[in-house]
Structure 1
Amino acid sequence: MPETEWQRSSFCGGGGNNCIETLPQDGVILIRESQAPTDVIRATPEQLAAFIRGVKAGEYDHLI
């Protein structure tokens, strides 16, 4: 996968290797951390939306 296709959030703190990056591909969204670019998570848009709703609702706050 060419590096130019991965998208970084505009909220990344100063760029570098502290960002979550995404790449839509074949009906799924690939997600990776810029510090470990070979570790990739695959999620459907529905799975990712459910996870984001959980984060916004505070379901994962106990992990911090």
Structure 2
Amino acid sequence: MPVSALWQKSSYSSEGNNCLELAVGTDGEVLVRESDDPSIVVATSPAVVGGLLRAAQGGTTDRRGCPSA
């Protein structure tokens, strides 16, 4: 994973280390990490992140991230 990635977190996040950060990888993939443990980075596609955001905004997931009934 690129060490020099430009990591961004939500403007709604507090100043603490309790949020997700996103960056764009060299191949256009979306990189995701937790601010309190930045050594673990997950790479995924923009389509997957978009689907997650739409589900969260639409309230179609429960607290465990599983589709709600």
TMscore range, shorter length = 0.7 to 0.9
Q: CA deviation at 1:62?
A: 4.4
TM-score under structure 1 length normalisation = 0.77
* Residue ranges of structure 1 left out of the alignment (5+ in a row): none
Report the equivalent of 2:45: 44
Which structure features the higher share of helix residues?
1
**Separation of aligned partners in 2, 1:29 and 1:50:** 13
Query: Within the alignment, does 1:16 sit opposite 2:5 as a pair?
Result: no
**Separation of aligned partners in 1, 2:63 and 2:22:** 25
Q: CA deviation at 1:63?
A: 2.4
After superposition, the Cα gap between the structure-2 partners of 1:16 and 1:62, relative to the gap in structure 1 and judged at 3 Å, is closer
Instruction: Determine helix, strand or coil for the equivalent of 1:16.
Output: coil
Q: Aligned pair count?
A: 62
* Residue ranges of structure 2 left out of the alignment (5+ in a row): none
**Separation of aligned partners in 1, 2:22 and 2:51:** 16
After superposition, the Cα gap between the structure-2 partners of 1:62 and 1:8, relative to the gap in structure 1 and judged at 3 Å, is closer
Identity %: 34
More off after superposition, 16-25 vs 52-61 = 52-61
Report the equivalent of 1:2: 4
